[in-house]
Amino acid sequence: MSQKGALCVIFESMKTTCFTASRVTNTFWKAPVLGLSALLLAFTMGGCNSNKDTETNPTDAVATDPYEKARPGEETSAGIAPPKLADTLGVTDPMAKDSIKVHIAFQLAANELSNAYINKDAKTYAKYTLPAIVKANGGMEAYENKLGMVFSDPETPAYFKLLSGPLQRTKAKLDDQGYLQGWYCLLPVRMFRTEAGKTLQDVKWMGGQTLDEGKTIYFIDITNLPPEKIAQIMPDLQVVLVK
């Protein structure tokens, strides 16, 4: 099976050529690191393949709020259910309360990102991409056009469902004076596809960042990415990568 990726390169050491949103390349390390053009948020075949049948439960009819009756972390028709705002009512610590609110924002954004991939919605997908990556690809309009090309490529992996989350960690980054610099999260992305009559599951890992308490959120794919490269793209993500 072709491993031609959806939106990012597979490392050169894997001897795989992948379609990036900017060009086709098989030489990751030759691209300028600061350009970030080859480091795009992605869901590709580069994740871990469970290589086993996966049972999926049918979801109920979509309600006005698909998360209303779901427990946090439970699968719904819209994705993984986040915690509820009501969970903050008994919390007195301001940072703990903010942590729950940001967790909710991250989970809702991750669900929207996954649905954008499935629906080939380049505009929604692009808004969760780091500005530096968008700029390196010629700006938002050019980047969205390139995403559209990737989504329409017949060799892009045909996933019928993506589940992002539940979040494994949500943590604040504080400076040396104790002032908040931003919030970060870590979550798995499970991708479901059909092969030879079987439903298979691939797994990747994604990091998220918000510097304005959930108003603006960006994600990056960190699967198989060395720590030093993660540090170049999203430096403070280390707060959720180190226990």
pLDDT for position 64: 83
Label residue 26 by pLDDT band (50, 70, 90): very low
Name beta bridge partners: 206: 187, 221
Does residue 216 form part of some domain? yes
Does residue 233 form part of some domain? yes
The DSSP string of 140-208 is: HHHHHHHHHHHHH-TTS--EEEEEE---SEEEEEE-TTS-EEEEEEEEEEEEEEEETTEEEEEEEEEEE
Label residue 242 by pLDDT band (50, 70, 90): confident
Does residue 204 form part of some domain? yes
Q: Token pair for residue 154? A: 């017949």
Pick from 237, 229, 211: which is nearest to 40 by CA?
229
Label residue 198 by pLDDT band (50, 70, 90): very high
Does residue 229 form part of some domain? yes
Rounded to an integer, the average pLDDT of 84-107 is: 94
Q: How many CB atoms lie within 10 A of CB 234?
A: 20
Dihedral over alpha carbons 157, 144, 10, 5 (to 10 degrees): 10
The model's pLDDT over 178-197, given as tens digits with 9 standing for 90+, comes to: 999 999 999 999 999 999 99
The domain total for the chain is 1
The model's pLDDT over 157-183, given as tens digits with 9 standing for 90+, comes to: 889 999 999 999 999 999 999 999 999
Q: What distances in angstroms separate CA 76 from CA 71, 87, 235, one per listed residue? A: 10, 19, 33
Rounded to an integer, the average pLDDT of 121-127 is: 96
Does residue 225 form part of some domain? yes
Pick from 200, 162, 159, 160: which is nearest to 52 by CA?
200
Does residue 5 form part of some domain? no
Does residue 7 form part of some domain? no
Query: What residues make up the domain containing 150?
Result: 12-241
Q: Say if CB 189 and CB 47 are below 8 A apart.
A: yes
pLDDT for position 41: 57
Does residue 3 form part of some domain? no
